[in-house]
Structure 1
Amino acid sequence: MRDTGLSLARSLRGVGALASAALLAALWLLWLLQSAPGAAPAPRPTLTILIWHWPFTKQPPELPSNTCTSYGVAHCRLTTDRSLLASADAVVFHHRELQTQRARLPLADRPPGQPWVWASMESPSHTHGLDRLRGIFNWVLSYRRDSDIFVPYGRLEPREGPAPPLPAKNGVATWVVSNFQERQRRVQLYRQLAPHMRVDVFGRANRQPLCADCLLPTVARYLFYLSFENSQHRDYITEKFWHNALAAGTVPVVLGPSRATYEAFAPPDAFVHVDDFSSARELAAFLTGMNQSYYRRYFAWRDRLQLRLFRDWRERFCAICTHYPHLPRGQVYQDLKGWFQG
């Protein structure tokens, strides 16, 4: 009986070894098939991004299933259907609506582990109420380069095809402004410039508003555009630089972050920075005394680069899906105010 038991034990061990070997072989074969050239990749799941409230409006745009595909982002679905809160892969909250309390956070219904995204394209000077948002958000979507989802107002890309001709010029400098407050540095600088050079001012601040289709043709007639930001903060370079100046085919005179920051976004000879001058009078003399050949140097970048604008919130929200596989899991902004105003 003892010999029979030993034989049975050896047989069982042999069967177990054969089964283990077969399993390993099957797993190895499966790996080879998946990694073989031409093998069909595993289908990527579609991510659902819930926008809790659409920025600056009560009526969100239509969001067909191909919304993100049209921006080159696949497997990404944008929705404003709040009934999908429990199943959404991420939920986005635009700060302006939280700041004005037009929308509230559904904290009691938040699914465990669901990433929440704080979104804002405004500067810290116009962003309030961040103290109430401690320990809530996992990711940030903003113009800041150190954001989890970095979405600038614009960027320069390699040019495809020849650059369009520059518009004809018949004025020196212009500025389009609506929010005109004496405490702003841009208003103070304009006051200092005005005695030394002519600046044609448009916008509600001067009771000369421009229609949406009138802005670029109007600015294009000038040599320079005052791309003065309403406040000066890290990486805060808005449509005043990208759209109002570069898209119009004029040279931006910039007041914002440092020259080094602008040079991270554009060539150093694509703009005039006010910090390069010791006074507004010196800046005015430089602008009004520039000859044509020197002026054209500010457009050398157009031979190799072209402008791309990011103005649509749909494209900005689709970027979440692009970054999603690489975003830090478990991250929480315990001090969102300290980060954003730092």
Structure 2
Amino acid sequence: MMKVKHRLLIVCTSVTLFMWYSVWFKTNPTITILEKTVGMEIAKTYPYSKMKYILQWTNPNTEPFLYMGRGQQTFIKRRCPVNNCFVTSDKTLLSDLTEYDAVLFHGPEISKHLIRWPRRRSQHQKFVFVSKEASTNYPLFYQLYNDFFNWTWTYKLNSDTYYGYVMIKNKLGDIISPREDKHWLKLEEMEPISEKLKNKLDSKTIAAAWFVSHCVVKSRRNRIAKLLQKELANYNMTIDIYGSCGTKRCPRYQANKCLRMLERNYYFYLAFENSIAEDYVTEKLLHALQHYTVPIVYGGANYTRFMPDGAYLNVRPLDIKGLARQMVEIITDKKKYYDFFRWTNHYSYHYGEEFPETDYYCNFCSQINDVEAVKRVSRYENFLAWWNEKNRTGPRTGT
């Protein structure tokens, strides 16, 4: 008899708790989500109405999705000014796919093959094309991509959210570039460099360096480098090529040591991109600019959006022989070489993720919280034309 009473008490208590919980949940729109993270499970409670849910529709283990983490962790870790964004690759986390605020599609993955698409979408949510890789490496051909994406999150400067490697500040600390319409100080308007910097530059003894790991790429940069190396040999000057494409070694785990060596010994650095694509400028440029070495750029960008004239040499408008002659003239004329660093009195170069206000993940979270941007009806009607680029030519190899 006592056992029966005990069981009845448990049942009554359970029913009472269930009814209380049901009433409480309806009046308190809060949900608890268990999200698996590396090495632990964290239970977090979030106000449902304020959280912005970001669904990674394609493989979460590819860049840049990999570094978004799970839940809010990346936005908190990066000290984002807006951090109420929740990342997941679990398509069943919410009760319906239309409840996610943003659905992300990784460009390189969808360029290779057709994938299973969401069958429904809501007017409030944004389908977002994401890529930090060049369009010339990952072109898209399927017509269904036209009028499919609402937003873009790429290295292109006219993307809805910019995913860039390089950020420039002026001496007041204001973010000034990269921009499509940037106006820089002219060389003659810049202050001459200090004696201290001159002494640092005077220690250099070798024409150029290049750190590279991938030799066979679409831009054919390795061929350009070898031709330039051969031409400089006529002046008893050289390009030291580090990595699998050259004869010298400086492993990645010693990156800081390698960059200090670059700053100390080399006049120029080959900032050669693996693809010739508009606005595609990577951290290769920062190797030079942050370490008092003149970048020799080779890529498809309009570099005036990233640097003032007189801060770099550009391969593409020149022929190889002419570029080699110009390098020799600059090396042998100290004043000419000093002038390439006048910009340091007025600007500073940084990685995009160096500050919360320019971090690409922070910026996307801010974008998805921008009420006006979300309300605005937007689709890329001719997305293929926006993303794909025609083939571009390299430098002339003759005289």
TM-score range for the pair, normalised by the shorter chain length: 0.7 to 0.9
Query: In structure 1, what is the equivalent of residue 52 of structure 2?
Result: 47
Distance in 1, Cα, partners of 2:216 & 2:110:
25
Match of 2:88 in 1: 80
Aligned partner of 2:386 in structure 1 is: 339
**Aligned partner (choices 182, 199, 204) of residue 239 of structure 2:** 199
The Cα RMSD (Å) is 3.3
**Partners of 2:111 and 2:140 within 8 A in 1:** yes
Q: 1:285 to 1:153 in 2, by over 3 A?
A: same
Match of 1:297 in 2: 339
Summarize deviations over 1:144-169 as a string: whole Å, max 9, x none. 11111123211210236999955742
Q: Is the 8 A contact 1:45 1:75 kept in 2?
A: no
Residue in 2 aligned with 1:323? Answer: 367
Structure 2: 5+ residue stretches without partners: 1-48, 174-192, 233-237, 390-399
In the alignment, is residue 169 of structure 1 matched against residue 216 of structure 2? no
* Structure (1/2) with the larger helix percentage: 1
| 8 Å contact from structure 1 (residues 73, 319) kept in 2 | no
**Residue pairs, 1:215-234, within 5 angstroms:** 215-220=258-263, 221-234=265-278
Superposed, 1:1-342 pairs within 5 Å as 45-52=50-57, 53-56=60-63, 62-63=69-70, 65=72, 67-68=74-75, 70-82=78-90, 83-84=93-94, 85-100=97-112, 104-108=115-119, 110-111=121-122, 113-131=124-142, 133-159=145-171, 168-181=203-216, 184-197=219-232, 198-206=238-246, 208=249, 210-214=251-255, 215-220=258-263, 221-241=265-285, 243-257=286-300, 261-277=302-318, 279-290=319-330, 291-310=333-352, 315-324=359-368, 325=370, 326-327=372-373, 329-342=376-389
Contact preservation (8 Å) 2:267, 2:294 = yes
Structure 1 residue 75, shift from structure 2 partner: 4.4
> What percent identity do the matched residue pairs reach?
25
Cα shift readout 1:64-96 (whole Å, capped 9, x = no counterpart)? 646435344324314125214543321222223
Displacement of 1:143: 1.2
Classify 1:66/1:124 alpha carbon distance in 2 versus 1 (closer, same or farther; 3 Å). Answer: closer
CA distance in 1, matches of 2:335, 2:227: 27
User: 2 CA distance for matches of 1:306 and 1:183?
Assistant: 31
Distance 1:188 1:306 in 2: 32
Q: 1:213 to 1:110 in 2, by over 3 A?
A: farther
Structure 1 residues 299, 45: closer, same or farther in 2, change over 3 A?
Answer: farther
Judged with a 3 Å threshold, the aligned counterparts in structure 2 of structure 1 residues 227 and 236 are, in CA distance, closer, same or farther, namely: same
1:320 and 1:310 map into 2 onto residues whose CA distance is: 13
Q: Contact between 1:227 and 1:253, CA under 8 Å: does it hold in 2?
A: yes
After superposition, give the CA deviation of every residue in 1:24-52 in whole Å (9 maximum; x if it has no partner).
Answer: xxxxxxxxxxxxxxxxxxxx944333334
| 1:15 alignment counterpart | none
Alignment partners' CA distance in 2, 1:244 and 1:334: 38
Q: Residue type matched to 2:211 in 1?
A: V
Distance in 1 (CA, whole Å) between partners of 2:281 and 2:64 is 24
Report the alpha carbon displacement of residue 119 of structure 1 after superposing the two structures with TM: 0.7
How far, CA to CA, are the matches of 2:116 and 2:210 in structure 1?
A: 39
1:205 partner SS: coil
Shift of 1:302: 1.4
Query: If the length of structure 2 is used for normalisation, what is the TM-score?
Result: 0.64
Q: Is the 8 A contact 1:159 1:305 kept in 2?
A: yes
Secondary structure, aligned partner of 1:219: helix
Residue 110 of structure 1 deviates from its aligned partner by 4.1
- For structure 1, list consecutive stretches of 5 or more residues without a partner in the other structure: 1-43
* CA distance, structure 2, for counterparts of residue 194 and residue 150 of structure 1: 35
Are the aligned partners of 1:177 and 1:201 in contact in 2 as well (CA < 8 Å)?
yes
> How far apart are residue 58 of structure 1 and its match?
8.8
Q: Distance in 1 between matches of 2:65 and 2:129?
A: 18
Q: State the SS of the aligned residue for 2:108.
A: helix
Offset at residue 212 of structure 1 (A) = 4.1
> What CA distance in whole angstroms lies between the structure 1 residues aligned with 2:141 and 2:361?
21
Higher mean displacement: 213-222 or 64-73? 64-73
- Residue 288 of structure 2: SS of its match in structure 1? helix
The separation in 2 between residues aligned to 1:255 and 1:59, in whole angstroms, is: 29
TM-score (ref. length: structure 1): 0.73
Distance in 2 separating the partners of 1:90 and 1:274 = 40
Letter of the structure 1 residue corresponding to residue 320 of structure 2: A
User: How far is 1:113 from its partner?
Assistant: 4.2
CA pair 55-206 structure 1, distance change in 2 beyond 3 A: same
Q: For residue 6 of structure 1, what is the aligned residue in structure 2?
A: none
